[in-house]
Amino acid sequence: MLQPDFFERNTCQVAEDLIGCQLCLVREGQRIQLAIIETEAYRQDDPACHAYVGKTKRNEVLFGPPGCLYIYFIYGCHFCMNFVTESEGVGAAVPLRAAAPVRGESWLRTNRPIPGPAQNLTNGPGKLCQALALNRDVNGQPLAPQSGIWLEQRESEPPIAVGPRIGISKARDLPWRFGWANHAYLSAPFKPDQT
C-alpha cells in the first residue's frame, strides 16, 4: 500500500509514478480495483492550480497532509478526484484523469450505466468519479483502508507518455500530463512525439 511519504515529493514525480498503480475501494462488501492510466500535476506556483490564489475555504484540503483526497465540483456537473502532494502547507495535487477497471466492473457500471466500449466507463475525470460514486463526502480523507479507498504499488513500470495538460486555459504548455502510452483508457491520445 502506498504510504503518505510517497505523496510527500515533487508533484510531477508523484503524477508519473502513479501510472500503473492500483486504486482500491471497498463498497458494499465488494473490492473494486482500477489501474491508474492518466494523471496530471498541479503545483502552488502554477496559475492553473486551485492553490495559486492562496489558501481558501474551498481549497484548504490542498494545503493539508500529503496522501489525502481533494474532491471538487467541475463544470457544474462532475466531481474530480485528486491526491494531495508535497509537504503539508504546500498547495499541490495530482488529479486522476483515467483508470482501467481490474476488478468490480459490474459495480462501476451500476453507477455509470453506459452502452458501448468498456473504456468509456472511466476514461475521464468526471466519468471516473461517477463510476466510483465519489463526491465531496470523501474530501480530505486519507488514502488508507480505514477510509475505504487506498492505493497499491504498481507491479511493473508501464511505458509512460508525457505531454501538456488538457482542458485548462492557463499554463497550457507545461508537460505535466502523464499517461500509460497508447492505452485504450486514456481520456485523449498523446501525440506520437510524446510517447
Residue 71 has a pLDDT of 96
C-alpha cell at 138: 470523501
C-alpha cell at 5: 511519504
Residue 77 has a pLDDT of 77
CA distance 81 to 73: 9
**Predicted confidence pLDDT, tens digits, the chain (195 residues):** 999 999 999 999 999 999 999 999 999 889 999 999 999 999 989 878 888 788 988 899 999 999 999 999 877 778 999 999 999 999 999 999 999 999 999 999 999 999 888 889 999 999 999 999 999 999 999 999 999 999 999 989 999 999 999 988 888 889 999 999 999 999 999 988 887
Amino acid at site 192: P
CA distance 101 to 103: 6
Q: If you write DSSP's letter for every residue of 74-111 in order, what string do you get?
A: ETTTEEEEEEE-SSTTS--EEEEEEEEEEE-HHHHHHH
Q: Which helix (H) or strand (E) holds 135?
A: none
CB 118 within 8 A of CB 104: no
Residue with cell 492562496: 54
Helix (H, G, I), strand (E, B) or coil at 120: helix
Supply the Cα-derived Rg of the chain in whole angstroms.
Answer: 15
Question: What's the pTM?
Answer: 0.95
Which domains can be identified in the chain, with CATH numbers? 4-194 (3.10.300.10)
Residue 172, number of CB atoms within 10 A of its CB? 11
